A and B are shown apart, each in its own frame.
Chain A
Amino acid sequence: MTVAEYNKSVDDYSDGIFRFILKNFRDEEKAKDVVQDTYEKLWTKVDDVAAEKAKAYLFTTAYHTMIDMIRKDKRMTLLEEDRHDTHAEAGAYIGLSELLDEAVAKLPDDQRSVIMLRDYEGYSYEEIAGITGLSASQVKVYIFRGRMFLKNYIGSIEAVL
């Protein structure tokens, strides 16, 4: 890809990658680091990556960078759970968007990632499989389980409300 195509990929995809990572991490600084690291890796391979493959490359790289960081920082996950438990126990009214945020945060990493790639970016099962390294069948299973969890979560809260 050319420098112009590289810069276009910055304009086109950096927001999406940032949102995708931020939703998983809930840590803006880390999400920024992942975006920057991802584009640095793309830049080192700018001669090898075709422009039409740039988005897949970026999301794949960002996803694996994020997974590596999650594995290194399990403590963060525990803090997330504590925070969301507190929110739910408070019983205060929250909208569907906030409710979904809570539910998404409680999903296992794999399920959350595939659902976000599906909903945020509209990737097909096969494309998500390529990004995550899972099989297409596994992706379908994770999406099925994730959707069921989300539906049960908001269904149970709505019943209480």
Chain B
Amino acid sequence: MTINKNNYEAYLLDYIEGNLDPLLTAELMAFLAENPAYDQLLDPTETNNAVTGSQVFAAKNQLKKDLSDLPAVTPANFEEFCIAACEGTLSSNDSQRLSNYIDNDPVKLKTLALYRKVRLSPDLSVIYNHKGILRKPAGKTRPLGHFYAYVAVAASIVLLTALWIIKPRQEKLSPLVTEKPTLSVEADPGLKSPVTVKTAVPAEKDVPLALSVPVNDSEPVVDETHTLPRIPGIQRILTPLPGRIVSLANDNPPLSVILPDKPEPLALLSVSAADGSDPVQTMNLFAQLADKIDFWKTAETAVQGFNHLTEAQVSINRTIDDEGKTTALLLETERYSFSGKKWK
């Protein structure tokens, strides 16, 4: 034997750490069996460290025992037999063993009788009186599964959000435009055919001029070296002058555009008209369309439809300011509430 009382500690440590091979493990166990004093050093909690907690013993059911496996009814297991008898799980053989053990002993009989008394029985006079609210009419819409309900809620939220985003556009026209542009052309007393632009809409960046609408029936020439803000209604700008006047290329006399006092470049829209469409016209069409659609009614109708389909109780509400503009939204379900103020 390689393991002795002089070197066993090293083997013991290897064993505890799970590093001892099976042959030496067997030898160590044999050594500990021969020397019980050293066996006490083996902490069972530490030896278990080598075994991971996820391992299970698959044959545990084979280890389980029944009352019939007990050799006899004894004072220690008597009550367990009584309970099994009352539970109706005692075999006929075990019932006979229990009966023999009791042997008309009044104390044992009373114990068994007490166990028979602790069987509960429901009070049938207690009934649920509100079955009516639980019942569903046969033609009732069947509920959608959770998945569809969630999808429907998400779709409603997306719809409301989309409406919320779209709605301000008819008033703001563009996230980059802070006020509704008003463009007018009028005569400048100092010039024969002047153009005065009354607008002050800052643009994100200058847009090259590419319009084709003649201004005052003139045909100006563009100074291609300049990139200027796009101004609908003005065909081409020849020279941006310092200060406030930009002359259009018109031979005699030149037309002028009077820029606003603000130093920002002029623009009515931040979108490009490279596709040939007139952004102002598009904008106006949208504004006209938006004016005809009641987005709030649309949203309410969508929510009502959702409630009808899913039997949900979703509701939307809004807060309106003195001008009739929506300032806050509230979306409520049976369990949740979402609210938000209009982003200014």
* A contact set with B: CB distance below 8 Å: 3-4, 6-7, 10-11, 14-19, 22, 32, 35-36, 39, 43-48, 96, 100, 103-104, 115-116, 118-120, 137, 143-144, 147-148, 150-151, 154-155, 158
Contact = CB atoms under 8 A, between A and B. Distances in A.
B179 interface: no
8 contacts: A3-B137, A3-B138, A15-B124, A120-B122, A144-B83, A147-B83, A147-B86, A154-B117
A148 B126 contact: no
B120 A47 contact: no
A100 B123 contact: no
Q: Main SS of the interface on chain A? A: helix
B136 A3 contact: yes
Given A46-B142, A144-B80, A155-B114, A15 B119 contact: no
B136 A15 contact: no
B118 A150 contact: yes
Contacts of B118: 100, 103, 147, 150-151, 154
Given A3-B137, A14-B131, A46-B142, 17 more contacts: A10-B131, A11-B131, A14-B134, A15-B127, A15-B128, A18-B127, A35-B134, A36-B133, A36-B134, A39-B134, A44-B145, A100-B120, A119-B120, A143-B83, A144-B80, A150-B118, A151-B117
B121 interface: yes
B292 interface: no
A71 to B, nearest CB: 20
Contact of A3 (B122, B140, B145): B140
A35 B146 CA distance: 21
B115 interface: yes
A148 B83 contact: yes
Nearest to A21: B128
A95 to B, nearest CB: 11
B216 interface: no
Contacts of B130: 32, 35-36
A7 B135 CA distance: 5
A154 B114 contact: yes
A7 B114 contact: no
B170 to A, nearest CB: 40
Which 6 pairs between the two chains have the least Cβ-Cβ distance?
A: A150-B118, A119-B120, A18-B128, A14-B128, A151-B114, A10-B134
A151 B128 contact: no
A86 B288 CA distance: 78
Nearest to B126: A19
Q: Main SS of the interface on chain B? A: loop
B305 interface: no
Interface of B: 64, 79-80, 83, 86-87, 111, 114-115, 117-124, 126-128, 130-131, 133-138, 140, 142-143, 145-146
B127 A119 contact: no
A4 B128 CA distance: 19
A30 to B, nearest CB: 13
Q: Which of A3, A104, A147 has the most CB of B within 10 A?
A: A147
A68 B80 CA distance: 32
Contacts of B137: 3
A11 B131 CA distance: 7
Nearest to B83: A147
Nearest to A146: B118
Nearest to B120: A119
A40 to B, nearest CB: 8
Contacts of B64: 137
A7 B136 contact: yes
Contacts of B119: 119
Contacts of B124: 15
B142 A147 contact: no
A19 B146 contact: no
Given A7-B135, A32-B130, A148-B79, A115 B123 contact: no
Q: Which of A22, A39, A143 has the most CB of B within 10 A?
A: A39
Given A14-B134, A44-B146, A151-B115, A104 B120 contact: yes
Contacts of A32: 128, 130
A155 B82 CA distance: 15
B115 A147 contact: yes
